[in-house]
Amino acid sequence: MYIDDTLLDVVVKDGKVTLHGTVGSAAEKSRAFYDAWVSGVTAVDNSGLEVKWWMRDELRREVKYVDKSDEEIRKAVEDTFLYDPRVASINIHIEVKDGVVTLSGMVDDLHAKRVAEQDAKNTIGVRVVKNFLKVRPGKLPTNLTAMRDPAIVENVHDVLSRNPITDRLDITVESQNKKVYLYGGVNTFYEKRLAEDVVSRVPGVIDVVNKIEVNYRWPWKSDEEIKHDIESQWYWDVFVNSDDISVKVHNGVATIYGIVDNQKESLAVVKDAFEGGAKIVRSFLEFHGDEKDKQKHTKDKTPYYYPEYFYDFYSSPYYIIPRV
C-alpha cells in the first residue's frame, strides 16, 4: 500500500480534484497527486496535503541518513559476501577507513571479483571501493595448457556459443597473458555487456577488454520531454529517492544534482536518466557525508561524465570519465 488514505479528504468539482489531509512523506504526497488523475479529471490540486512524519510506517527509519562507523561498514560488507553465492568470501580481506573500502585477497574468477566490488558499493555508508582482489582459479586443470592463451580463446568461444544470445553475435576473441580482448559489432549495449559478463566467468581469464562497437543512434527528444521522462523514471524507481535529486537538460545532455545514499543509488539515478532519453549524463551527485567536505559548491567540482548508456548497474562495469 503506497498511500494511507485514513486522513485524506477528496473534493471533486467540475472535473477538478482537490486533496486535503495528512500524509507520511513527500513521496506519498506526490503519489496521491498522480493517482488522482483518473478518467474525467481535468486538474488536481494537492497543496492541501500536509506531510507529518508521525504518519509514516513504524518500520521505516526515523532519520533518512544513518551514519555508520568503519567497523559497522566492514561487518555489513562481510555479511553481504557471506550471503552472496557468487562470491567465495573466505579469501577476501576487507579494510575500511573513513567509508573507503579496500578489498584484497583472491577469488576464483573475474566475475566474482566484479561482483564483490559491486556488493561493497551497494552497502550503506560506503563511499569508495578499492578492488585489489586477484583472480586465481580454485582448482587448476590437470593439463596446464588449458590455462594458456590459445586454450582460453577456445574456451571463450565455447562459452559464447552456448549462450542463446551471444551465440548469434559476430565476436572476435584474442587473449594476451590471460587478458581477453573482444572485438566486433552488435546492435544493443545489452549484447555488448552480456558478452563481457559471460566471458568474465571463464576460468583463467583475469581481465576483459571490451572493444565491441554498438550500432546505436540516439532517438531525438526535446529537452522538456527528456526532463519530464527522467523525473518520471526516478519517481517509479524503488532504488531512487527522487526528493533529493534534480536535473537540468540542455541539447539532450542531462546534468544531475543532489545527494544519494550509496553507489547503487547513484548508478540507478544515471541509468534512469538514460532511460528517460538523455544522450549524455553529467553527474554532480554527492554521497551523504560528502557535503561536509571542503568543496561545498557543486559548481567548483568536477562532474562524472557518462558518455554512453550502460544496461546493468547491478553487476556490469560502466564508463566514468571525469571532465572539467
Q: For residue 163, give the CATH number of its domain.
A: 3.30.1340.30
Same domain, 163 and 208: yes
| Pair 195, 186: CB distance under 8 Å | yes
Total tally of structural domains belonging to the chain: 4
Same domain, 29 and 99: no
DSSP characters over 99-134: TEEEEEEEESSHHHHHHHHHHHHTSTT--EEEEEEE
pLDDT (tens digit, 0 to 9) for every residue of the chain, 324 residues total? 456 667 889 999 988 999 998 887 777 787 788 788 887 888 889 888 888 766 555 555 556 556 789 999 999 999 999 888 888 666 899 999 988 999 999 888 888 999 999 899 888 888 889 999 988 876 655 555 556 889 999 999 999 999 999 999 999 999 999 899 999 999 877 888 899 999 998 988 989 999 998 887 778 889 999 999 999 889 888 788 888 899 999 999 999 999 888 777 888 898 889 888 888 888 888 887 654 444 443 444 555 655 555 444 333 333 333 333
Same domain, 306 and 239: yes
| Pair 315, 263: CB distance under 8 Å | no
Same domain, 44 and 102: no
Same domain, 296 and 239: yes
**Residue that is last in its domain, among 195, 214, 233:** 214
Instruction: Establish if 65 belongs to a structural domain.
Output: no
Instruction: Establish if 101 belongs to a structural domain.
Output: yes
Same domain, 35 and 10: yes
Same domain, 169 and 227: no
Instruction: Establish if 61 belongs to a structural domain.
Output: no
Using CA atoms, how far apart are residues 264 and 127, in angstroms rounded to an integer?
11
Instruction: Establish if 277 belongs to a structural domain.
Output: yes
**Residue that is last in its domain, among 214, 239, 267:** 214
Same domain, 233 and 314: yes
User: How far is residue 225 CA from its own chain's centroid?
Assistant: 23
**Residue that is last in its domain, among 108, 135, 162:** 135
**Domain range holding 174?**
144-214
Rounded to a whole number of angstroms, the CA Rg of the chain reads 24
Same domain, 268 and 318: yes
Cell numbers that stand for 101 in this block: 573500502
Q: Quickly tell me which residue has 498522480 as its cell.
A: 34
- Give me the sheet containing 8-13, strands edge to edge: 8-13, 16-23, 43-51
Q: What is the pTM of this model?
A: 0.55
Cell numbers that stand for 128 in this block: 569508495
DSSP characters over 233-252: HHHH-TT--GGGEEEEEETT
